[in-house]
Amino acid sequence: MPHEPRMLIDGQLVAGNKEFEVLNPATEEVVATSADATATDMERAVAAARHAQDNTDWATNAELRKRCLIQLQQALEAEQEELRVELIAEVGCPILVTYGPQLDTPMREALTWPTEMIDQFSWSRQLPDSDAFGLGFQTHREVWKEPIGVVGVIMPWNFPFEVILNKLGPILAMGNSCVIKPAPDTPLNANRVGRLIAEHTDIPAGVVNIVASSDHLVGEVLSTSPLVDMVAFTGSTTTGRRIMEAASATLKPVFLELGGKSVNLILDDADFPTTLPGAASVCMHAGQGCAMTTRLLVPFSRYDEAVELVKLGFEGVSYGDPTNPANLQGPLISARQRDRVMGYIEKGVAEGARLVTGGGIPSDMDKGFFVEPTLFADVDNSMTIAQEEIFGPVLAIIGYEDDDHAVAIANDSEYGLSGSITSGDLDRAKGVAKRIRTGTLGINGGAWYGPDAPFGGYKSSGIGRQCGIEGLEIFTETKTVGWPAR
Ligand code: NAD
């Protein structure tokens, strides 16, 4: 299957002066190479985006934007199966997960909803006439929403296609241009999107630029350039802080989707046998999801029963070859990431948590960056494995005394991205949900996700919301105007 190595800069697919290799994390074989941008390439892309934003009718021509987004949607759908194979190869994501959030879900709705919203969005609103300064005449006043301008997009590797579409859709629908920097581990799907834009859409040259690089710091051009109006980042909290710092010199707004350490809170009236084995779903895609519920809170009054049921769930997790549809869990993205996860597991043991199952590198897999589904019990919320984001197939079970104690543990975290609550009593669960400081919450198995559903975090989990009306507004500026009322 052909992969696209070229970048998209100013409407042209360009090879660049060097290339870097993309590894399949399940086999450790080279999948393909990608153009390896330098800071100069990035600056060229930024200039192209600025020029397109300021000199084309992209920002004001809603019909053009709708047509282009529909063209892009059709072009993506035509290569959906190639994308599936590519995502499995470069991300190491199980094929099962591509039927959901890794591919099919964003393919279905991430561009279509913002496209529909181009007509429905509140582009302006009227304020009551006013004689604010007592000058003896009334002023008619309106608030206009306008594109924010050039958006620098910095991408993660764990759900790259989901993130690229959920950024591109709102950015383009709201009339902005952008420069997208994929994560170095997973540039191929982004390069493909670039080719489809160049070959199958009328998107004006420079409105979308896609610039992959093996050098993280090439992304820093987006944070520092005075030609970029905003940075939209998905990735780790550490990098998010650095981006915010770098962006402060030009006072650009930053939109940050960062890490999480979310709770799966089981109240004492929940149906344990039907609920608890499902806690093993943190192993999906080897735990490489920011919204995973990696702290399981269970009442001390039913603690042993809970641990046994979760253990059953963990022992049922099938993992290995991501092309096998039976597997829920594939490899970690890289050797570095696997070593990082193993370091956390060792720390969990050293700090006194009880390893219930897993904890090692599978002995029967000599290739690929795999880690066994790993369950810890007797975890105290102050331990490293309860406080830091592991980004691996690791769950920590923490006991609590009563609902107040559970809420206190849930909120005793640097993060506040997601979570879930299960109870036999929906009103009780909703009451507890109101007390947890987090951006999204599933109650009794409900799924909050969707292109119309704002997603993002409290505290160190981020700033701003992706998707929903909030996720459109974030890519706009606000202009208030007034003229004498007749
Ligand atoms: P990362 O922060 O290491 O890298 C993310 C991106 O930032 C990459 O493209 C990288 O090249 C780039 N980058 C690194 N340093 C940079 C700098 N100084 N300036 C500009 N760009 C820079 O994160 P990762 O390892 O790719 O992803 C894993 C993390 O992402 C996890 O912590 C996870 O929770 C988080 N994540 C969050 C969300 C969310 O929506 N909240 C989604 C996915 C992943």
Say if CB 309 and CB 357 are below 8 A apart. Answer: no
Say if CB 20 and CB 7 are below 8 A apart. Answer: no
466: how many CB neighbours lie within 10 A of its CB?
23
Summarised one tens digit per residue, pLDDT across range 193-250 is 999 999 999 999 999 999 999 999 999 999 999 999 999 999 999 999 999 999 999 9
In this predicted structure, what is the pLDDT of residue 1? 82
Q: 4, 86, 162, 257: which is the annotated catalytic residue?
A: 257
How much distance in Å is there from the Cα of 239 to the middle of ligand 1? 6
Summarised one tens digit per residue, pLDDT across range 110-144 is 999 999 999 999 999 999 999 999 999 999 999 99
Q: Ligand 1, atom 30: nearest CA belongs to which residue?
A: 235
Q: Rounded mean pLDDT of 36-51?
A: 98
Higher pLDDT, 328 or 486: 328
- Residues touching ligand 1 (Cβ under 6 Å) are 154-159, 181, 183-184, 216-217, 219-220, 223, 234-236, 239, 242-243, 257-260, 290, 389, 391, 417, 462
Q: Rounded mean pLDDT of 444-468?
A: 98
Residue 387's pLDDT band, with cuts at 50, 70 and 90, is very high
Report the predicted TM-score, pTM, of the whole model to 2 decimal places: 0.97
How much distance in Å is there from the Cα of 385 to the middle of ligand 1? 20
How far is the C-alpha of 243 from the C-alpha of 211, rounded, in Å? 18
Pick from 290, 438, 448 the residue to mutate for probing ligand 1's pocket: most ligand atoms within 8 Å of its CB: 290
What is the distance between the terminal CA atoms of the chain, rounded to a whole angstrom? 66
Q: What's the gap between Cα 241 and its chain centre?
A: 16
| % of the chain at pLDDT higher than 90 | 100
How much distance in Å is there from the Cα of 424 to the middle of ligand 1? 38
Summarised one tens digit per residue, pLDDT across range 333-373 is 999 999 999 999 999 999 999 999 999 999 999 999 999 99
Nearest atom in ligand 1 to 238's CA: 2
How far is the C-alpha of 346 from the C-alpha of 62, rounded, in Å? 55
Sort residue 136 into left (φ over 0), alpha (ψ -120 to 50) or beta: left
Residue 427: is its pLDDT beyond 90? yes
In this predicted structure, what is the pLDDT of residue 486? 81
Q: Rounded mean pLDDT of 265-270?
A: 98
Summarised one tens digit per residue, pLDDT across range 87-110 is 999 999 999 999 999 999 999 999
> Both tokens of residue 86?
């590519």
Q: Is 69 strand, coil or helix?
A: helix
Q: 220, 290, 467, 473: which is the annotated catalytic residue?
A: 290
pLDDT mean across residues, the chain? 98
Q: Rounded mean pLDDT of 413-422?
A: 98
How much distance in Å is there from the Cα of 155 to the middle of ligand 1? 6
How much distance in Å is there from the Cα of 146 to the middle of ligand 1? 28
Pick from 151, 233, 239 the residue to mutate for probing ligand 1's pocket: most ligand atoms within 8 Å of its CB: 239
How much distance in Å is there from the Cα of 234 to the middle of ligand 1? 5
DSSP states of 151-198: EEEE--SSSHHHHHHHHHHHHHHTT-EEEEE--TT--HHHHHHHHHHH
In this predicted structure, what is the pLDDT of residue 29? 98
Nearest atom in ligand 1 to 183's CA: 9
Nearest atom in ligand 1 to 256's CA: 41
Instruction: Report the candidate in 229, 198, 173, 205 with the shortest Cα–Cα distance to residue 59.
Output: 173
DSSP states of 92-116: ---HHHHTTTTTHHHHHHTTHHHHH
Q: Rounded mean pLDDT of 263-279?
A: 98
Q: Ligand 1, atom 14: nearest CA belongs to which residue?
A: 216
Residue 78's pLDDT band, with cuts at 50, 70 and 90, is very high
Is 4 catalytic? The answer is no
479: how many CB neighbours lie within 10 A of its CB?
11
How much distance in Å is there from the Cα of 157 to the middle of ligand 1? 8
Beta pairing partners, 480:
143
How far is the C-alpha of 349 from the C-alpha of 347, rounded, in Å? 5
Pick from 151, 155, 216 the residue to mutate for probing ligand 1's pocket: most ligand atoms within 8 Å of its CB: 216
How much distance in Å is there from the Cα of 418 to the middle of ligand 1? 18
Is 257 catalytic? The answer is yes
Summarised one tens digit per residue, pLDDT across range 167-195 is 999 999 999 999 999 999 999 999 999 99
For the chain, give me the number of helices (H) and strands (E)? Answer: 17, 22
Q: Rounded mean pLDDT of 307-315?
A: 98
Say if CB 14 and CB 143 are below 8 A apart. Answer: no
